[in-house]
Structures are given as C-alpha cells and as structure tokens.
Structure 1
Amino acid sequence: MKKQLFKILVKLNKVLLPSLYKKDPMKLSTVQKAILGYKYWTLTNSL
C-alpha cells in the first residue's frame, strides 16, 4: 500500500510541479531545491 501511495504522488508531481530537468542544482533557489528533494524522495520510495 505504501508503494502505491508513492506511485500516485510521483504521477501528481509530474503534472503539478515544475520540471527542473537540465538545470544546474547549484544555481537553484531554496524553494526549487526543496521541490527537487521532494520529487527525489517520492521517486525513491515508489521504487
């Protein structure tokens, strides 16, 4: 059940959150780093 919840969150992230693909992580703002960390956390928990 936990993996299913995270898979749903990953799908919602793709639709709702901005894509940070091809951006330098060192040049991101604090909010963008938080979004990137959240997306990474949900992705690793869904696998």
Structure 2
Amino acid sequence: MKKKFFRQLSKLNKKLLPSYSKQQLDLAKATKLQKAIIGWKLWVTKNAL
C-alpha cells in the first residue's frame, strides 16, 4: 500500500514539478525553494523504490 502511494505520488511529481536535471541547475546556485523541491522529489523516489 505504501509503495503504491509513493509510486503514484512520484508520477504526479513528474508531471507537476520542474525537472532541474534537464535545466542543468547548479546545486550551489539553487534557491531554497529549488533545494526543497529537489529534496521532496528525492524523498518520494526513495520511498517508491
């Protein structure tokens, strides 16, 4: 149940949130909001696996 939820959430994140890897964002120059989005996506992905 938990994995299914996080997999669905991961698909939703992919559609709604920006992809910073495609934009080649430098993490040293990222704003706090961008870092928060990256951390959120990482946490969701970790739990979906």
**TM bucket by the smaller chain?**
over 0.9
Q: How many residues align?
A: 47
Which structure 1 residue ranges, 4+ long, deviate > 6 Å from structure 2?
Answer: none
List alignment gaps of at least 5 residues for structure 2.
none
Identity of aligned residues (%): 51
TM-score (norm 2): 0.91
Q: How does 1:1-47 map to 2 (within 5 A)?
A: 1-21=1-21, 22-47=24-49
List alignment gaps of at least 5 residues for structure 1.
none
Q: CA RMSD in A?
A: 0.6
